[in-house]
Amino acid sequence: MSGLIPYLLFPGNAAEAFAHYQGIFGGELQLFDYAELGRHDGPADAIGHGMLRGVVELAGADAGADDDAVQMGGMFFSLLGTADAGTLTRWFDALAAEGRVISPLTTRPWGDVDGSLVDRYGIRWLIGYHPEE
Protein backbone atom coordinates (compact mmCIF):
# COMPACT_ATOMS: atom_id res chain seq x y z
CA MET A 1 0.00 0.00 0.00
CA SER A 2 1.36 3.40 -0.92
CA GLY A 3 0.90 6.77 0.71
CA LEU A 4 -0.76 9.88 -0.60
CA ILE A 5 -0.67 10.12 -4.41
CA PRO A 6 -1.66 13.48 -5.90
CA TYR A 7 -4.17 13.35 -8.77
CA LEU A 8 -3.63 16.32 -11.08
CA LEU A 9 -5.97 17.59 -13.77
CA PHE A 10 -3.99 19.25 -16.56
CA PRO A 11 -5.34 21.79 -19.09
CA GLY A 12 -4.74 19.52 -22.11
CA ASN A 13 -1.03 18.82 -21.66
CA ALA A 14 -1.08 15.76 -19.37
CA ALA A 15 0.94 13.56 -21.76
CA GLU A 16 3.67 16.19 -21.97
CA ALA A 17 3.65 16.78 -18.21
CA PHE A 18 3.82 13.07 -17.36
CA ALA A 19 6.70 12.54 -19.80
CA HIS A 20 8.49 15.48 -18.17
CA TYR A 21 8.01 14.08 -14.66
CA GLN A 22 9.12 10.60 -15.76
CA GLY A 23 12.27 12.18 -17.24
CA ILE A 24 13.03 13.74 -13.87
CA PHE A 25 11.93 11.05 -11.40
CA GLY A 26 12.16 7.88 -13.52
CA GLY A 27 9.60 5.20 -12.83
CA GLU A 28 6.96 3.43 -14.89
CA LEU A 29 4.44 5.52 -16.80
CA GLN A 30 1.01 4.37 -17.96
CA LEU A 31 -1.25 6.63 -20.02
CA PHE A 32 -4.77 5.94 -21.28
CA ASP A 33 -6.55 8.33 -23.63
CA TYR A 34 -10.22 9.29 -23.54
CA ALA A 35 -11.03 6.95 -26.42
CA GLU A 36 -9.54 3.93 -24.62
CA LEU A 37 -11.63 4.75 -21.55
CA GLY A 38 -14.86 5.41 -23.45
CA ARG A 39 -14.90 9.05 -22.37
CA HIS A 40 -16.64 11.60 -24.58
CA ASP A 41 -16.17 14.77 -22.53
CA GLY A 42 -13.07 15.86 -24.41
CA PRO A 43 -10.85 15.03 -27.40
CA ALA A 44 -10.36 11.30 -28.04
CA ASP A 45 -6.58 11.66 -27.75
CA ALA A 46 -6.70 13.57 -24.43
CA ILE A 47 -5.30 11.67 -21.45
CA GLY A 48 -8.18 10.15 -19.49
CA HIS A 49 -5.92 8.63 -16.84
CA GLY A 50 -2.19 8.54 -16.26
CA MET A 51 -0.02 7.11 -13.53
CA LEU A 52 3.68 7.51 -12.78
CA ARG A 53 4.85 4.82 -10.36
CA GLY A 54 8.26 4.94 -8.73
CA VAL A 55 10.08 6.85 -6.02
CA VAL A 56 7.73 9.77 -6.74
CA GLU A 57 4.18 8.77 -7.66
CA LEU A 58 1.73 11.01 -9.48
CA ALA A 59 -1.62 10.36 -11.12
CA GLY A 60 -3.78 12.57 -13.27
CA ALA A 61 -5.52 13.31 -16.53
CA ASP A 62 -6.45 16.09 -18.91
CA ALA A 63 -9.31 18.05 -17.38
CA GLY A 64 -12.68 17.16 -18.83
CA ALA A 65 -15.17 19.71 -20.13
CA ASP A 66 -16.68 20.23 -16.65
CA ASP A 67 -13.40 20.05 -14.70
CA ASP A 68 -11.03 22.79 -13.62
CA ALA A 69 -7.32 22.29 -14.29
CA VAL A 70 -5.04 22.21 -11.25
CA GLN A 71 -4.35 25.51 -9.51
CA MET A 72 -2.08 25.46 -6.50
CA GLY A 73 -2.07 28.02 -3.75
CA GLY A 74 -1.12 27.71 -0.12
CA MET A 75 0.45 24.27 -0.60
CA PHE A 76 3.50 22.44 -1.92
CA PHE A 77 4.24 18.87 -2.90
CA SER A 78 6.95 18.00 -0.39
CA LEU A 79 9.91 15.84 -1.35
CA LEU A 80 11.79 16.48 1.88
CA GLY A 81 14.25 13.65 2.51
CA THR A 82 12.83 11.36 -0.18
CA ALA A 83 16.25 10.72 -1.76
CA ASP A 84 19.92 11.55 -1.24
CA ALA A 85 21.14 15.15 -1.43
CA GLY A 86 22.56 14.81 -4.96
CA THR A 87 19.32 13.36 -6.34
CA LEU A 88 17.17 15.98 -4.61
CA THR A 89 19.40 18.77 -5.94
CA ARG A 90 19.07 17.37 -9.50
CA TRP A 91 15.29 17.13 -9.09
CA PHE A 92 15.16 20.73 -7.85
CA ASP A 93 17.17 21.99 -10.83
CA ALA A 94 15.15 19.94 -13.36
CA LEU A 95 11.79 21.04 -11.93
CA ALA A 96 12.94 24.67 -11.83
CA ALA A 97 13.84 24.64 -15.55
CA GLU A 98 11.27 26.81 -17.35
CA GLY A 99 9.59 27.34 -13.98
CA ARG A 100 10.19 29.81 -11.16
CA VAL A 101 12.33 29.39 -8.06
CA ILE A 102 10.55 30.76 -5.00
CA SER A 103 13.42 30.02 -2.62
CA PRO A 104 16.72 28.44 -3.75
CA LEU A 105 18.17 25.44 -1.96
CA THR A 106 19.53 27.04 1.20
CA THR A 107 20.86 25.82 4.52
CA ARG A 108 18.27 26.74 7.13
CA PRO A 109 19.03 27.78 10.74
CA TRP A 110 18.03 24.30 11.97
CA GLY A 111 20.66 22.70 9.67
CA ASP A 112 18.49 21.26 6.89
CA VAL A 113 18.75 22.34 3.27
CA ASP A 114 15.55 23.12 1.39
CA GLY A 115 14.07 25.27 -1.33
CA SER A 116 10.82 25.75 -3.16
CA LEU A 117 9.73 26.35 -6.73
CA VAL A 118 6.84 26.39 -9.16
CA ASP A 119 7.48 24.11 -12.14
CA ARG A 120 6.50 24.81 -15.77
CA TYR A 121 3.07 23.24 -15.15
CA GLY A 122 2.23 25.43 -12.16
CA ILE A 123 2.95 22.70 -9.58
CA ARG A 124 4.60 23.94 -6.38
CA TRP A 125 7.39 21.82 -4.88
CA LEU A 126 9.26 21.90 -1.55
CA ILE A 127 12.50 19.93 -1.84
CA GLY A 128 15.15 19.39 0.79
CA TYR A 129 17.39 17.15 2.81
CA HIS A 130 19.40 16.90 6.00
CA PRO A 131 23.12 17.11 5.12
CA GLU A 132 25.11 14.02 5.93
CA GLU A 133 27.72 14.53 8.61
Q: How far apart are CA 72 and CA 21, in angstroms?
A: 17
Asked if residue 133 has pLDDT above 90, the reply is: no
Residue 94 sits at φ, ψ, to 5 deg, of -70, -40
* pLDDT tens-digit readout, 5-60: 999 999 999 999 999 999 999 999 999 999 999 998 889 999 999 999 999 999 99
- How many Å separate Cα 90 from the centre of its chain? 14
Q: How far apart are CA 115 and CA 15, in angstroms?
A: 27
Asked if residue 84 has pLDDT above 70, the reply is: yes
pTM of the model: 0.93
Name 116's Cβ contacts closer than 8 Å, sequence gap at least 6.
Answer: 76, 101, 102, 103, 124, 125, 126, 127
Asked if residue 66 has pLDDT above 90, the reply is: no
With b meaning 16 or more CB within 10 Å and e meaning fewer, what string describes 53-79? eeebbbebbbbeeeeeebeeeeebbeb
Residue type, 11: P
